Amino acid sequence: MNKKKIVIFALIALAIVAYFQFGLGQYLNLDALKAQQAALDDYHRQYPWQVAGLYFVAYVAVTALSLPGALPMTLAGGAIFGLLWGTVIVSFASSIGATLAFLAARFLLRDWVGERFGERLKAVDEGIRRDGAFYLFTLRLIPVFPFFLVNLLLALTAMKARTFYGVSQIGMLAGTVVYVNAGTQLARIDSLAGIVSPALLASFALLGIFPLIARKVVEGVKARRVYAGWQKPARFDRNLVVIGAGSAGLVTAYIAAAVKAKVTLIEKHRMGGDCLNTGCVPSKALIRSAKLLSHIARAREFGIASAQASFDFAEVMERVQKIIKTVEPHDSVERYRELGVEVVEGSARIVSPWQVEVICHDGTMQTLRTRSIVIAAGAHPFVPPMPGIEEMGYLTSDTVWNLRQLPRRLLVLGGGPIGSELTQTFARLGARVTQVERGPRIMPREDPEVSAMVAERFRAEGVQVLLNHQAKAFVIEQGEKILIAEHEGKELRIAFDVLLVALGRSANLTGYGLEELGIPSGRTVEINEFLQTRYPNIYAAGDVAGPFQFTHTAAHQAWYAAINALFAPFRKFRADYSVIPWSTFVEPEVARVGINEQEAQDRGIAYEVARYDIDDLDRAIADGEAHGFIKVLTVPGKDRILGVTIVGEHAGDLIAEYVLAMKQGIGLNQILGTIHIYPTLAEANKYVAGVWKKAHAPATLLRWVERFHAWRRGG
């Protein structure tokens, strides 16, 4: 706590102590007020302004310091100043006092709370920004929480002070009038409890929820307005149409069928989408072959004098296709039909908020009438409009799987996860790979030390990693393909045979009706927290919606899309992105959940780090994979996990324990208290928890325990 805060805290504490010490409370109760009424009236007649001023200051002080006694003071206001002036004075004094309490609590506590509950507070803040004024108004009219608690708790959120003041002043007015009015009849009041009748309380409650109801109505009217001009069908043939049978679309359709809805899934290309056909599955299959080669190259490390691999690249690529074929039935038309999904193979276009037109592969056209639509149209590789790039005959993650001849010199443009996975894979398969990244490091979402470790391994495996290299143009010189790049202000030329562009993936936003329906999009389709587009019955999920581009996040969103599309407005859920894990399958493998150090610093979140280096782990040593680390970020002084980064063998599997822990609110103490099988890589999770525990050992207690042991030894 800084000096200013200590002084303010001390002053507030002093004032509160003085209030109780001098028994000031005895003057702020009904009986005392009644006894003093004649005297108060007398003073007021003699010194009207002074009494009003003093009363005002005292009222502000009582509310600002959250002291008991505001209610009797309000009655006194009525008794002394009458209904009109009593209401004016109390209304301003109570609002100013409440705002001072709010400001003081914010000054003293908001940073502290922000540091400890940064992530959770963010969600609360979002809600407050959206609905805070409504909630406050309701709380002022229906005082389920004491007012002083409302003042203190809202101070910890992002609510603006002027909103707090304004809403408080309006929200408390009705109650103020009632109590001030009662105060004008002070002599006849026997208890505070009887002042407000149940009927009056009920009308307050109605008044309190009125703005919320009004807002819902306004939202409803707004939503209706977007449908103006569209002819809504009298009835629907199906509950849901899903456009795209990738990870998001498949899971959406699966869930819809599981809850007995009539659902149609439309796919224009290949069932399974990117993940099965050109993404996760082929890349992991190829990575496996490449990894085998890397082990053979390391044979000596494993005590094998020599081992050689002779292989045909084309066969390796055929294996990739075989793996796809093996997985294919999981996503097949037949399987989904068996699950109760109607599958249509063709190209879909939304023609109205309730109608989807499909040009089927067999040349026929269908128009489907549906209550809801889920857009799961995915993404495609982004290829920048760079001079000369089209003449290069470049590959992307869509087309690289067609290669049957290993490129001699492969140029990979891009240092993100896809570019990095393919860089290492092709290098291990024997290509001379140059990876070009315009930023200062590859895998920039991870902490710098992670990027450095991966880049170091790439270089050790023969990859030329070029950082801070901005690709400018491509040319062909004397039959050779050349990239012209800029590095530190200088132009340089890099020769290559095959170009692989891996510069990110852009959402598919054109050609299926978004433009015609005026569904807004930026980099992705614009959706709200319920995954609804501008049309509340049209949803989007997966790569087309973002903000993540993973199969598991597409599937995660699919649940919300399906349930909301089928059950809104009766029940709908906000998509929960609080615990999102991912992994990049390079070697050393990198996995993450929650925040890393870089993000914690950028967002000003206080954290502690517990780190365990895997080179110390028995199983990793036995496996010849003694490298990498686990880094756990926790709330300072607590075992609550904010984020975990794992670098090392099977990092993507090891992280699962932390994903569960974060999702279920399990801390490092509980991980430490859980048996992990020896010898496994998973033991590292327990060891890092041990590192945290050691750093938080109760030093004083241990000193006493040491003395206890000495005593037991007779010392």
Ligand X SMILES: Cc1cc2nc3c(=O)[nH]c(=O)nc-3n(C[C@H](O)[C@H](O)[C@H](O)COP(=O)(O)OP(=O)(O)OC[C@H]3O[C@@H](n4cnc5c(N)ncnc54)[C@H](O)[C@@H]3O)c2cc1C
Nearer to ligand X, 377 or 411 (CB): 377
Distance between CA atoms of residues 632 and 667, nearest Å: 11
Residue nearest to ligand X (CB): 246
What span, in angstroms and rounded, lies between the C-alpha atoms of 450 and 550? 20
Q: Least CB distance from residue 264 to ligand X, whole Å?
A: 11
In DSSP terms, 365 is beta-bridged to: 359
Torsion of CA 260, 266, 269, 272, to 10 degrees: -20
Nearer to ligand X, 211 or 378 (CB): 378
State which residue, 55 or 560, has the beta carbon closest to ligand X: 560
Please, what is the minimum distance in Å from the beta carbon of residue 335 to ligand X? Answer: 16
Token pair belonging to 20: 């109780």
> Considering only CA atoms, which of 487, 648, 236 is closest in space to residue 688?
648
Q: Which is nearer to ligand X, 33 or 358 (CB)?
A: 358
Count other Cβ atoms within 10 Å, centred on residue 601: 12
State in angstroms the smallest separation of the CB of 612 from ligand X.
25
Shortest approach of ligand X to residue 151 CB, angstroms?
46
Among candidate residues 114, 117, 111, 120, the one with its CA nearest the CA of residue 579 = 120
Instruction: Answer whether 643's CB lies under 8 Å from 633's CB.
Output: yes
Nearest distance from C-beta of residue 203 to ligand X, angstroms? 51
Residue with Cβ nearer ligand X (243 or 368): 243
Of 151 and 553, nearer to ligand X (C-beta) is: 553
> 485 or 507, CB closer to ligand X?
507
Which of 421, 613 has the CB closer to ligand X?
Answer: 421
**Nearer CB in complex with ligand X: 79/500:** 500
Q: Which residues lie below 8 Å from residue 123, measured CB to CB, with a gap of 6+?
A: 578
Query: Cα–Cα distance between 176 and 190 in angstroms, integer?
Result: 19
State the maximum Cα–Cα separation within the chain, in Å, rounded to a whole number: 109
- Which is closer to ligand X, CB of 269 or CB of 335? 269
In the complex, the smallest distance separating the C-beta of residue 552 from ligand X, rounded to whole angstroms, is 5
Whole-number minimum distance, CB 645 to ligand X, in Å? 17
Min separation Cβ 577 and ligand X, Å: 15
Q: Which residue has the tokens 């608690």?
A: 149
| Smallest distance, ligand X to C-beta of residue 274, A | 4
- 74, 180 contact by CB (below 8 A): yes
Q: Minimum CB separation from ligand X for residue 543, in Å?
A: 4
**Which one, of 632, 691, 647, lies nearest residue 449 by Cα?**
647
CA separation for the pair 406, 413 (Å, rounded) = 17
User: 486: which residues sit within 8 A by CB, 6+ positions away?
Assistant: 469, 470, 472, 492
Q: Which is nearer to ligand X, 377 or 661 (CB)?
A: 377
CB closer to ligand X, 75 vs 377? 377
**Alpha-carbon distances of 499 from 26, 378, 419, 463, 474, rounded to whole Å:** 85, 24, 11, 15, 10
Q: Closer CB to ligand X, residue 182 or residue 427? A: 427
Min separation Cβ 329 and ligand X, Å: 17
Which helix H or strand E contains 152, and what residues bound it? helix 147-155
Instruction: Please answer whether residues 360 and 524 qualify as being in contact, where contact means their C-beta atoms are separated by less than 8 angstroms.
Output: no
**What residues line the site for ligand X (CB under 6 A)?**
243-249, 266-269, 273-275, 278-280, 283, 347-348, 376-379, 397, 418, 508, 512, 542-544, 549-552, 554, 585
Of 36 and 506, which has the nearer Cβ to ligand X? 506
* Location of structure tokens 């109570």: 94
Closest separation in Å from C-beta 200 to ligand X: 55
Q: Please name the residues in contact with 707: beta carbons below 8 A apart, sequence gap of 6 or more.
A: none
CB of 411 to ligand X, least distance (A): 17
DSSP reduced 3-state for 647:
strand
Contact 620, 681 (CB under 8 A): yes
Q: How far apart are CB 689 and ligand X at their closest, in Å? A: 27
In whole angstroms, what is the distance from residue 653 CA to residue 682 CA?
9
CA nearest 415: which of 500, 506, 288? 500
Q: Assign 3-class secondary structure to 457-484.
A: HHHHCCCEEECCEEEEEEEEECCEEEEE
154 versus 562: smaller Cβ distance to ligand X? 562
Return contacts of 445-454, CB within 8 angstroms, 24+ apart. Answer: 446/584, 446/590, 446/592, 446/596, 446/598, 446/645, 447/596, 447/597, 447/598, 447/631, 447/645, 448/598, 450/590, 450/596, 450/645, 450/647, 453/588, 453/628, 453/647, 454/420, 454/586, 454/588, 454/590, 454/647
Integer Rg of the chain from CA:
33
Least separation in angstroms between residue 527's CB and ligand X is 13
